[in-house]
Amino acid sequence: MPVKPIFKPSLLRNGLGTYVQPCHKVTIQYCNWGGSSKSIRDLLSTGSINKFASENLNIFVEVVKKSGHPVLKFDYSHDKQDSVEVRNKTTTEVLKLLSDYSQRSGNELFKYNHKVLSNNESVRGVWSPMHEHKGHRFKI
Amino acid sequence: MANASATNATKSVNPTSSNGITSLKKQVDDMKYLKYDSNGSNSLYAILRLHNIPYLVTKGDKIILPTRMKGVKVGDQLTFNNVTTIGSPNFIFNSENGVNPDLFEIKGSVVEITKEPYYEVYRKKQRCRRLKTIPVQNYQTILMINELKLN
């Protein structure tokens, strides 16, 4: 039988070389009449949305006027989307949600109960008793 | 680790001499073994301290902090200079007071600031039938080590 090489898929490790921010588009949908969109209207009139856009130059910010409750939509790389309803939220709450969600990767939230997540092989390998010095070996 | 005998398979190098004085010259000499053994920093690991908590990392690893790191944004570059141990398959360079930061270069970038999944904690007081519900959704900061090498 011929020897087959073991297929090893390449890993996408954003940030190992250059870092590309996963969130590339934010859509702010609001209503010009409804009371639940009041904070968004305030943010637009005071220029806070403009400030957010100028601070995050790699995010495309789109403002959509549509009847209904206001929604923030976030587009991430790998065609992932996330949306938050922001009805009756205050301006500070909306700004916090904007900055929080734009710094995420779009992946599902998960809790990793260890300190370091590694894809590399162990540097020192598996400990072997055969390589221990004779004086320290376990004697039967 | 610092007091392991030289006869062990893993050799440990302690920069502090017997009289307690750390000399830079000796440290530089001892790094030679690590450089020789590190396979172009491919097989190199370091134990760095972040908020005084040790993290054993290699290049490309993600450090997951269970908090929101203060004063950083996504995409920021961090330089780690509080390192206690640098090691390769056969050698360890260990210093309890921290390795001289001129000898190595360890950098990481802030990859993601996200949250843990939402869960609820219930608290019950004695002689009270009510159950207190506490919503929990903590922040997470994820750092990626993108530089780990010896100078």
CA B89 – CA B92 distance, rounded (Å): 8
| Contact between A133 and B113 using a beta-carbon 8 Å cutoff | no
Q: How many CA atoms lie within 13 A of A109 on its CB side?
A: 15
B92 vs A104, higher pLDDT: A104
pLDDT for position B28: 52
Closest-CA residue of B relative to A137 is B8
User: What pLDDT digit, counting tens, does each position of A94-124 carry?
Assistant: 999 999 999 999 999 999 999 999 999 898 8
Q: What are the residue ranges spanned by the domains of chain A?
A: 23-102
- Residue A104 touches chain B, beta carbons under 8 Å: yes
Shortest Cα distance, chain B CAs vs residue A70, angstroms: 23
Query: Which domain range does residue B105 map to?
Result: 11-150
User: What pLDDT digit, counting tens, does each position of B33-68 carry?
Assistant: 888 888 888 899 999 999 999 999 999 999 999 999
pLDDT for position B16: 44
CB B29 within 8 A of CB B100: no
| Residue A84 burial (10 A CB sphere; 0-12, 13-18, 19+) | middle
Interface confidence: ipTM more than 0.90 = no
Q: Residue B1 falls within a domain, yes or no?
A: no
Q: What does pTM read for this prediction?
A: 0.83
Long-range contacts from B29-38, C-beta under 8 angstroms, 24+ separation: B30/B93, B31/B93, B31/B103, B31/B150, B33/B90, B33/B91, B34/B86, B34/B87, B34/B88, B34/B91, B34/B93, B34/B150, B35/B150, B37/B88, B37/B89, B37/B90, B37/B91, B38/B88, B38/B150
CB B56 within 8 A of CB B50: no
| Contact between A15 and B7 using a beta-carbon 8 Å cutoff | no
Q: Chain B interface residues facing chain A, Cβ-Cβ under 8 Å?
A: 5, 7-10, 43-45, 53, 55-64, 73-75, 87-89, 109, 111-118, 140, 144, 146
Q: Which CATH number fits domain A23-102: 3.40.1480.10, 3.30.450.90, 3.30.70.270, 3.40.30.10?
A: 3.40.30.10
Asked whether residue A43 carries a pLDDT value surpassing 70, the answer given is yes
Provide the number of structural domains found in chain B: 1
What token pair was written down for A26? 């934010």
Q: Which helix (H) or strand (E) holds A73?
A: strand A71-76
Q: Residue B128 falls within a domain, yes or no?
A: yes
| Phi, psi torsion values for A126, nearest 5 degrees | -80, 135
Q: How many CA atoms lie within 13 A of A7 on its CB side?
A: 1
Q: Which residues of B touch A136 (CB under 8 A)?
A: 8
Q: Residue B3 falls within a domain, yes or no?
A: no
Q: Residue B52 falls within a domain, yes or no?
A: yes
Closest-CA residue of B relative to A117 is B62
Shortest Cα distance, chain A CAs vs residue B30, angstroms: 19
Q: Which residues of B touch A133 (CB under 8 A)?
A: 5, 7-9
